[in-house]
Amino acid sequence: MTATLVFAYCLVAIGVAALVAIVRMEKGPTMLDRVVALDVVTAAVLGAVALISARSGRTDLVPVLVVLAIVGFVGSVTIARFAAVEAPEEARILTKEELAEVLAREHALSDEDAPVHDPDADDGPDGPDGQDRPDADDDEAEARSLDARLDGDAQEGGR
Amino acid sequence: MSLTDIADIAGMVLLVLGSTLTLVAAIAVLRFQDLLSRMHAATKPQVLGLTLMMAGLALSVRNPVVVWTLVLVVAFQLITAPISAHMVGRAGYRTGKVNSEALVVDELTQDLEASENLSDEEVERRIAVLDRDLARSDGARPDDGRPHDGRHDATGPGGL
């Protein structure tokens, strides 16, 4: 009877812990807070499996513990790696003007790359160079101004 | 009271301690304000809580195969928990989610600021010094030190 009560307390504590961690995962302002909460949920699941195994004497659940330990690690590392490349303007939904600016910047970058992939671009010594140079300079200046404007917007949004 | 009864009671005590620690740490993860504080709280069930629960399970089951598998679980967790914590902390710092003013010791910010103040010539000079030291330490194979940098390889003593 006492053992049943003790295991019931343990299961309830672990279940409440997992629920509380899931609340943090839902609230978490950033992706990394959710990863931290996911680690806690993984630890709670490990503890729950250990409790069930200890109560029922099922030793076939022990390999599940090994697999859970490895899988939890892989998931959090992958998400942390993904969050490392998260730009500030990707953390929220863009407005129409911002989306247009981002698309224009991508267009400028692809224009900049185009002569590299064209083998017929510089067949003459003076003709193509005289035509291509100003375009590339324009694109670079445009991309730089877009960068500055996007940074300014991100800072204003953060405050 | 036999030895198995004592092992059962000790196992239950350890399971209670581990699950209570998990609950306390989860509440801390919910209530703390900072990413680094939450990471600090989240490591408790990952390492100490898991170790307690695995010890409790081992004392309850008392099977050598199970005990060694549980040692393997704890070893895996001890190896992988620092890796994921390192990745999360690094990503948090790189994406600006760590408030440097709230930290007592912040060596990474100091180092980054010091490196930003270096001029390009100073950086080049230090790279050259490191290259020379590297070529001197293993003079037989100077190319293996910096495989991606053709310029330094070509000017190295064994590059040509």
Q: Higher model confidence: residue A98 or residue A34?
A: A34
Q: Are A33 and A24 in contact (CB under 8 A)?
A: yes
Q: Are A40 and B26 a contacting pair at CB < 8 A?
A: yes
* One-letter amino acid for residue B134 of the chain: L
pLDDT at B67: 92
Percent of chain B at pLDDT exceeding 90: 36
ipTM: 0.72
In B54-93, the residues whose Cβ lies within 8 Å of chain A are 54, 56-57, 60-61, 63, 65-66, 69-70, 72-73, 76-77, 80-81, 83-84, 87-88, 90-92
pLDDT at A90: 54
Length of chain B: 160
Q: What average pLDDT score do residues B32-54 get?
A: 90
| Ranges A125-129, B31-35, B55-59, B97-101, most confident | B55-59
In A73-112, the residues whose Cβ lies within 8 Å of chain B are 73, 76-77, 80-81, 83-84, 86, 88
- Measured over all CA atoms, what is the biggest interatomic distance in chain A, rounded to whole angstroms? 94
Distance, CA of B36 to CA of B86 (rounded, Å)? 11
Is the pLDDT at A40 greater than 50? The verdict is yes
Q: Are A47 and B22 a contacting pair at CB < 8 A?
A: yes
Distance, CA of A11 to CA of B26 (rounded, Å)? 14
Alpha helix (H) residue ranges in B32-146: 35-43, 50-61, 64-94, 107-116, 120-137
Residues of B in contact with A39 (CB under 8 A): 42, 46, 81, 84
**A67 SS3 class:** helix
Percent of chain A at pLDDT exceeding 70: 68
Q: What is the dihedral of CA B21, B27, B33, B38, to 10 degrees?
A: 40
**Exposure pattern of B82-104 as b/e (b: 16+ CB <10 Å)?**
eebbebbbebbbebebbeeeeee
Q: Choose the closest CB to A13 out of B20, B38, B56.
A: B20
Residue of A2, A38, A46, A55 to mutate, testing the B interface (most B Cβ within 10 Å of its Cβ): A46
Phi, psi of B36 (to 5 degrees): -70, -35
Distance, CA of B65 to CA of B47 (rounded, Å)? 22
Give A8→chain B minimum CA distance, Å. 10
Tokens of B13: 């005590």
Is the pLDDT at B154 greater than 60? The verdict is no
Q: Are A80 and B90 a contacting pair at CB < 8 A?
A: yes
Using pLDDT thresholds of 50, 70 and 90, give the confidence band for residue B159: very low
Give B110→chain A minimum CA distance, Å. 21
Nearest residue in chain A measured CA to CA from B63: A59
Quick one: which of B69, B80, B31 has its CA closest to A65? B69
Q: Are A32 and B97 a contacting pair at CB < 8 A?
A: yes
Q: What average pLDDT score do residues B54-72 get?
A: 92
Q: Higher model confidence: residue B56 or residue B1?
A: B56
Q: Choose the closest CB to B45 out of A44, A77, A80.
A: A44
Using pLDDT thresholds of 50, 70 and 90, give the confidence band for residue B58: very high
Q: Choose the closest CB to B35 out of A33, A62, A77.
A: A33
Q: Higher model confidence: residue A116 or residue B61?
A: B61
Quick one: which of B25, B14, B17 has its CA closest to A42? B25
pLDDT at A107: 83
Q: Choose the closest CB to A20 out of B27, B87, B91.
A: B27
Q: Higher model confidence: residue B11 or residue A111?
A: B11
Chains A, B: CB contacts within 8 A come to 165
Using pLDDT thresholds of 50, 70 and 90, give the confidence band for residue B75: very high
Residues of B in contact with A81 (CB under 8 A): 87, 91
Quick one: which of A6, A41, A153, A11 has its CA closest to B25? A41
Distance, CA of A58 to CA of B146 (rounded, Å)? 54
Is the pLDDT at A69 greater than 90? The verdict is no
Percent of chain A at pLDDT exceeding 90: 28
pLDDT at A158: 44
pTM score of the predicted model? 0.65
Tokens of A33: 């807070």
Using pLDDT thresholds of 50, 70 and 90, give the confidence band for residue A91: low
Using pLDDT thresholds of 50, 70 and 90, give the confidence band for residue A20: very high
Q: Hey, which bits of chain A come out as E strands? A: none
Q: What is the mean pLDDT of chain A?
A: 77
Terminal CA-CA length for chain A? 57
* One-letter amino acid for residue B71 of the chain: V
Give the model confidence (pLDDT) of B87-121 as tens digits: 888 888 877 777 777 788 888 888 878 877 887 88
Give the model confidence (pLDDT) of A119-146 as tens digits: 665 555 554 444 445 555 666 677 777 7
